[in-house]
Amino acid sequence: MRAYELIQKKRDGGELTAGEISAILAGYVAGEIPDYQMSAFLMAVYFRGMSSRETADFTLAMVRSGETLDLGAIRGTKVDKHSTGGVGDKTSLVLIPLVAAAGAPVAKMSGRGLGHTGGTIDKLESIPGFRTQLDTRAFIDQVNRVGCAIVVATNELVPADKKLYALRDVTATVDSLPLIASSVMSKKIAGGSDAIVLDVKTGSGAFMKTLDGARELAQAMVGIGAQVGRRTTALITDMDQPLGRAVGNALEVAEAIETLRGDGPLDLRELCLELGAQMVTLAGVARSAGEGKDLLMKILDDGSALAKFAQLVDAQGGDRRVVDDSRRLPAAPVRIAVEAPSSGVVAAVDAQAVGLAAMGLGAGRATKDDRIDPAVGVVLVRKVGDPVRDGEPLADVHAPDRARAAEAGRRIQAAYRIAARAPAPRPLIHGVIT
Ligand code: URA
């Protein structure tokens, strides 16, 4: 089967067989199909889409490209979580210890930041000493001992996704429904958990900008989960403005700790409770999401979620003193306030623009070999619906130097829209797909 013919078939709107999908993916991973042909194929998929059968076959072919993890040695129903990517999205840092403290084991493999969106592994690595690479045995032992572990996905797990993602990133083919669905679900299936909760983002900071697109993506992923016997629930959640206030690695860790202490921004707390309620329900710890949410609220407020986080940090070699004193996290040398250019009410904060401003400061990578600066980022002082007067602060920029602080300040100011009246509030949760 020649790659040329498969590209042509997809370009002309044909439906590929399971064998054809397997052949193109295996050929690409083996280096027999070059990047330029795979790029053309991805663009054909971007424009022509894939049927649900093709998307499922593509996902399974991705899983077969590498190893799958056997979590059989972990007691209980293992539940995993994945976000399609957002700005200020530090939910995993809160959720994993929270759900583990409730009695649901979590063996989590996470990724690094992509484009304007952040990644859990980069955030955790801002804690001095924190190790994100554990071998499988240590990973499983820690989940049995502590109740949770968070590690960086190994190169052996879905190598097809690693190669494809890098290519999609530079060929404008990231925001394609079948490509996102297969990328996310292949990693979750290979990760070995029994049940999966998906946080599908929609809005200006998400890869799926529209609610209809996010709903279709959520349905596709839940459908793939059902086909392979993994109980999967998806929440469609808002990413039109950043989640919480902090954007940037150490700043987000500090905010996650505040939230684990029972404080923290309300949108972040609420989202963690909603996602966590689905996780503990799928794990059989609660009989319903309502019961799960009540249980998690108690755990958050009585200090057990924070204690579990401290245990997790300790188990992975991190400095657990950051839990009581976030001044031990890396701090940027320059801090400036971004002022409102006029008076009114904050009508919008463009999440993608904030993500790109944080990236410009060094909180994310422009190319895959860039080094992250864990200390830098942005803290939003005002969010959508907040009143503000001319000259009052909109946000604080934490920067490596004055020049980059000024540049980020200009971008953050442009990301804010100030109007005479507050807009109709957007819900945090747009829907649940089971
Ligand atoms: N997150 C993923 O893991 N893959 C995608 O394609 C997009 C978001």
Tens-place pLDDT, residues 308-330: 999 999 999 999 999 999 999 99
| Residue 88 confidence (pLDDT) | 97
For residue 398, the cross-strand partners are: 335, 377
pLDDT digits (tens, 9 = 90+) for 108-124: 999 888 778 779 999 99
CATH code at 409? 3.90.1170.30
**Are 206 and 336 in a shared domain?**
no
Atom of ligand 1 nearest to the CA of 111: 3
Same domain as 318, residue 174: yes
Query: Are residues 141 and 288 located together in one domain of the fold?
Result: yes
In eight-state DSSP terms, residue 350 is: -
| Buried-state track 254-290, b at ≥16 Cβ within 10 A, e below 16 | bbbbbbbbeebbebbbebbbbbbbbbbbbbebbeebe
Contact 346, 242 (CB under 8 A): no
* 325-384 residue pLDDT tens: 999 999 999 999 999 999 999 999 999 999 999 999 999 987 767 889 999 999 999 999
Percent pLDDT > 70 in the chain is 100
Ligand 1, residue 179: give the atom nearest the CA: 6
Residues 287 and 335 reside in one and the same domain: no
Expressed in angstroms and rounded, the spacing between residue 183 Cα and the centre of ligand 1 is 6
Indicate if 168 and 202 belong to the same structural domain: yes
Domain boundary among 273, 299, 323: 323
* Catalytic residue list contains 187: yes
| Percent residues over pLDDT 90 in the chain | 92
- 335 flagged as catalytic: no
Asked, for residue 55, whether it belongs to a domain, the answer is no
The total number of structural domains that make up the chain: 3
> At 292, is the pLDDT very low, low, confident or very high (cuts 50, 70, 90)?
very high
383 and 256 share one domain: no
* Chain segment 277-288, per-residue pLDDT in tens: 999 999 999 999
Q: Are residues 316 and 363 in the same domain?
A: no
41 lines ligand 1 (CB under 6 A): no
- Residue 113's pLDDT is 80
Do 87 and 247 form a contact (C-beta atoms < 8 A)? yes
The pLDDT of residue 139: 96
The active-site residue out of 161, 240, 267, 350 is: 161
pLDDT at 53: 94
Alpha carbon of 404 to ligand 1 centroid (Å):
29
In the predicted model, what is the mean pLDDT of the chain? Answer: 95
Asked if 53 is an active-site residue, the reply is: no
Cβ distance 351 to 242 under 8 Å? yes
What pLDDT shows up at residue 112?
84
122 within domain boundaries: yes
Pick the last residue of a domain from 263, 295, 323: 323
Q: 94 and 22 in one domain?
A: no
For 376-385, letters b (16+ CB in 10 Å) and e give bbbbbbbbbe
What pLDDT score does 333 carry? 98
What is d(CA 73, CA 106) in angstroms, rounded to the nearest whole number?
13
The pTM for the full model equals 0.94
Shared domain for 319 and 348, answered yes or no, is no
Q: Please give the distance, rounded to the nearest whole angstrom, from the Cα atom of residue 5 to the centre of ligand 1.
A: 27
Confidence of residue 263 (pLDDT cuts 50, 70, 90): very high
Residue 160 and residue 181 in one domain: yes
Among the ranges given (126-135, 164-173, 174-183), the one the predictor scored with the smallest mean pLDDT: 164-173
Domain-embedded: residue 128:
yes
28 CA distance to ligand 1 middle (Å): 19
pLDDT at 116: 80
Which residue puts its alpha carbon closest to atom 5 of ligand 1? 180
Is 430 a known active-site residue?
A: no
Contacts of 93 (CB under 8 A, 6+ apart): 120, 123, 124, 252, 253, 256, 309
Same domain, 245 and 379: no
Domain boundary residue, one of 289, 323, 357:
323
User: For position 30, which CATH number holds?
Assistant: 1.20.970.10
10 belongs to a structural domain: yes
Contacts of 76 (CB under 8 A, 6+ apart): 103, 104, 105, 283
Do residues 370 and 295 share a domain? no
Q: Which residues span the domain enclosing 350?
A: 331-419
For ligand 1, atom 6, which residue shows the shortest CA distance? 180
Q: Active-site residue among 65, 176, 183, 186?
A: 183
Phi, psi dihedrals of residue 158, rounded to the nearest 5°: 45, 60
Residue 106 lies in a domain: yes
Residue 193 Cβ inside 6 Å of ligand 1? The answer reads no
Residue 72 within any structural domain of the chain = no
Other CB atoms within a 10 A radius of the CB of residue 74 amount to 22
Assign residue 284 the CATH number of its domain.
3.40.1030.10
Residue 427 located in a structural domain: no
Round to whole Å and give the CA distance between 115 and 398. Answer: 20
In a domain, 148, yes or no: yes
Query: Two tokens at 392?
Result: 């009052």
200's CB contacts (< 8 A; 6+ apart) are: 84, 208, 214, 217, 218, 221, 234, 235, 236, 237
- Helical packing angle, 159-170 and 177-190, nearest 10°: 150
